[in-house]
């Protein structure tokens, strides 16, 4: 049965580095910003704060909306993700403190948490790939809506 889901993700940038989760799946190693599906009764802000803590162990204060995208699996990975579609919103997030707590809800494919310098994102296994150039572009030129990208 096809699934359409709403999700949020955190953009945690500290000292020129982005906080990422490292996963292994159909495409080998890939990186994602921490985040995931919104639970019923949960606001977008609550969702992103919970997901960042669960997947990385870092407590964050959620700031403004940064950007969003559609992900339509049939257009990007039709062999194995054609029944999945997700709308994702990224929010700027700020570390509450430097302490990393135990990550309690990592995804099954997640193997690590990593801080990566923003320039090193270009050409990396970060998904969506468009996010790497978006983060390295002039903030005045960044679109809020990225479209159906991966």
Q: What is the pLDDT of residue 18?
A: 98
List, for residues 71-91, the tens digit of each pLDDT value.
Answer: 988 888 888 888 888 899 999
Reading the block at residue 60, the tokens are: 């964050």
Distance of alpha carbon 63 from alpha carbon 126, whole angstroms = 22
Q: Judge whether residue 9 has pLDDT over 90.
A: yes
Q: What is the DSSP string of 17-37?
A: EEEEEEEEETTEEEEE-SEEE
Task: Tell me if 85 sits within 8 A of 3, measured CB to CB.
Answer: yes
Query: What pTM value is reported for the model?
Result: 0.93
Distance of alpha carbon 148 from alpha carbon 57, whole angstroms = 30
Phi, psi of 103, deg, nearest 5: -75, 125
Confidence of residue 145 (pLDDT cuts 50, 70, 90): very high
**Residue 2 Cα distances to 11, 42, 54, 58, angstroms:** 28, 23, 26, 33
């Amino acid at each position: 049965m096809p699934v359409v889901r709403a999700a949020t993700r955190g953009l945690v940038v500290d000292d020129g580095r982005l906080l990422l989760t490292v996963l292994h799946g159909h495409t080998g190693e890939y990186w994602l910003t921490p985040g995931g599906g919104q639970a019923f009764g949960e606001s977008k802000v609550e969702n992103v704060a919970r997901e960042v803590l669960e997947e990385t162990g870092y407590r964050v204060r959620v700031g403004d909306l940064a950007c969003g995208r559609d992900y339509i699996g049939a257009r990007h990975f039709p062999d194995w993700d054609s029944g999945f579609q997700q709308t994702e919103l990224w929010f700027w997030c700020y570390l509450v403190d430097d302490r990393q707590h135990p990550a309690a809800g990592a995804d099954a494919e997640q193997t690590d948490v990593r801080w990566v310098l923003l320039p090193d994102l270009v050409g990396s296994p970060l998904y969506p790939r468009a996010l790497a150039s978006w983060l390295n572009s002039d903030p005045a030129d960044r679109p809020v809506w990225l479209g159906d990208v991966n």
